Each structure stands twice: as structure tokens, then as C-alpha cells.
Structure 1
Amino acid sequence: MTEPTNEAQGAGTSGSAPHLADTDQADRITRFWDTARPSAGRTSHGGAVGERSENVVPPPAWAFGDHPQLADELLALVLAGTKTATASLVVEYEDASEQLPRAGDLSILLDGAGDPRALVRTTEVETVPFDEVTAEHAWAEGEDDRTLESWREQHERYWRRTLAGTDHEFDPSVPVVCERFEVLYSE
């Protein structure tokens, strides 16, 4: 579930990430990007005159889930190499006025305290109805026993909780953004 903050995502990639308006956090993210960007093939000569903005401006930063403990649990799976995918609802991106992820996009993953911990690159994105998410995707998300059955149960529970009080309701045909990623750098 993913959480957008300059991005969006659900049961792995869209929750309540810390406010990036926090100057201290923005400084930590910028310092992390300065260290991590060579891993993404970006230049590292510090924003010289004429340097392209994608080399200097950090990519979107976000945390998994909708609370710090879940963010830390899911991030630990990423750092261990177990979690290489996440899922979000299309409506989460729409509500946050964010674009859907695309292959090649970079993101900075935050821990539950809002500290940057990993730089990832999206490698594949597919949008399918909830009830058509595959067992392969569930396995790649790396959560619980990694079965499709547990993925569906956990993600339905998560999205029912996070959609409560919004204009949206969970149903098995809801469009899910299934995203695969690779870790380029971690601390």
C-alpha cells in the first residue's frame, strides 16, 4: 500500500505521509537525493549553472501505508529485498491530483518518521480491477504469507478503512495501480 505525498498509493503505496512542507524534512530529503542521485544515473556536481532540474530537484518522497508503524514494516520488506511491488487505488492519485506512476519514475521512500531511506525506480505499471490482481503481483508485494488470498483480504481491509469518510467506496472492480520497482540506493 502506498501513500502519496507528491505521489499516491494504497495498501503498500498510498497513506498519510508526513508533510513535505516541513523545512527540516525537506532538507533531509535534499541531502539524501544529493547522495543517492548518482545511483539513478543523475549527475552529482551539485546544481551547477545549466544543470538539468531532474538532477537537482528530488523526486517525489512518500511513505507506505497510513500510519508510521505500517510505513516502517513495509519499508523493512523493501530494504530486505522481499517487497518489489506495491498497489494503490486510482482514486488515491485522483484525489491527490497526482499523475499515475510510469516506468522509469524515481521516488524516495520515507520511513514512519518521515526520514528518507531508499531511492527506487518504477519498472512496470499496470492498472487492473482489484479482483484481477494476480498471484504474481501479490507475491512481489512480499507481505504476510505472499498469497493472493491474503493480499486480497489485507488490501480490501486497508482500502475499506482508508476510503471511509471519502466519496469513494471499495468494491471488487475498483481500479488498482500495480507497480513494480527496484531499489537503486538505500541507507
Structure 2
Amino acid sequence: MSLSLEQLVNKYPEARVWAFGDSAALADSLVTLVIAGKKVASCGSLQSWKDDEEKPEPGGYSIVLDGASQPRCVIRTTGLFLTRFDRVTAEMAMLEGEDDLSLESWRREHQRFFQHTGTFHPEMELVFETFQLVEVI
């Protein structure tokens, strides 16, 4: 039986509720990677992290939505650290589980994303988050 968003919020009362990416298609793609166990990390600009009212914190839960704003899984943050776009390593890119897992594809797709949001700079600071899958909805 699938739990509703309301039931999940009751089960995880402190959880953040959000979707990956900047489009419904990307949200669907990335949450599918999380559920498959291929995506165990994500990153965002330090500025957007500062602007976010609900920040991830180690040990905190997130209810991850798909592109239709339906809950698909629950993850738990295992770590956060600060880095720069130009200092992301191949290992970090692989943890994000996207595309062909290479640093080159990571840079290309993340540059596209950050340019779309108007925040890209090669030396921009990023908050890199690692997480574990807790529950599939």
C-alpha cells in the first residue's frame, strides 16, 4: 500500500518535501536513480542553500517528489560539505549517479542547470549532500 503525502509527513514530521532538478522530466529521472540505488548524492549552489528556508542537515529526512509532485521515496541526509564547482571530483560525480557517471558529463549537465538558474560560475561554491534511501513509496 502506497502512503499519501499527508501520511508521510505524519510519519516523518520534520522531513523536507521537494523534487530534484528544474523540470518534471528531470525530477522523474533523478528520483528513479535514487530508487534504483544509483544516486546517493546531490549538490546545489551555496547561495540557493542559504536562501532555502528548510535546509538539509545530517540525519534529516526528505520526502522526494516526482515530476507530478507525487511522493516517490524518503531519503536521509548522511553528510554535507562545501566545495567549488571546479573542485568536484570524478568520485563525487559518480555518487550523483547521473548520465554516464563521468566527471565530464557531470560538469556539462550541472553547468547547464546552473546557467538555467542564472548562477553558474566555474568557481561557484556548492553544498554537496550525501544521502541514503530509507523508503520507497
TM-score, length-scaled by structure 1: 0.67
Identify the residue that residue 71 of structure 1 maps to in structure 2.
27
Instruction: Give the paired residue count.
Output: 135
Identify the residue that residue 46 of structure 1 maps to in structure 2.
none
Contact 1:30-1:58 at 8 Å conserved across structures: no
SS in 2 for 1:172: coil
Q: Measure how far apart 1:134 and its partner are.
A: 1.4
Identify the residue that residue 102 of structure 1 maps to in structure 2.
57
Are 1:91 and 2:47 counterparts? Answer: yes
Q: Measure how far apart 1:58 and its partner are.
A: 4.7
SS in 2 for 1:173: coil
Q: Which residue of 145, 151, 170 maps to 2:120?
A: 170
Flag structure 1 segments of 5+ consecutive residues without an equivalent: 1-26, 38-54, 164-168
Q: Between Structure 1 and Structure 2, which shows a larger proportion of strand residues?
A: 2
Identify the residue that residue 143 of structure 1 maps to in structure 2.
98
Q: Measure how far apart 1:95 and its partner are.
A: 3.0
Q: Measure how far apart 1:97 and its partner are.
A: 3.8
Contact 1:61-1:107 at 8 Å conserved across structures: yes
Contact 1:29-1:58 at 8 Å conserved across structures: no
Compute the RMSD of aligned alpha carbons: 1.7
Q: Percent sequence identity over matched residues?
A: 41
C-alpha separation in 1, matches of 2:123 and 2:19: 25
Identify the residue that residue 4 of structure 2 maps to in structure 1.
28
SS in 1 for 2:4: helix
**After superposition, what is the alpha-carbon deviation per residue over 1:44-72, rounded to whole angstroms, capped at 9, x for unaligned?**
xxxxxxxxxxx6x2511000001111100
TM-score, length-scaled by structure 2: 0.90
Higher relative contact order (CA 8 A, sep 6+): 2
Flag structure 2 segments of 5+ consecutive residues without an equivalent: none
- Opposite residue 126 of structure 1, the aligned amino acid is F
SS in 2 for 1:128: strand
Q: Which has the larger radius of gyration?
A: 1
Are 1:131 and 2:81 counterparts? Answer: no
Q: Measure how far apart 1:78 and its partner are.
A: 0.6
**After superposition, what is the alpha-carbon deviation per residue over 1:140-160, rounded to whole angstroms, capped at 9, x for unaligned?**
111011011110111011100
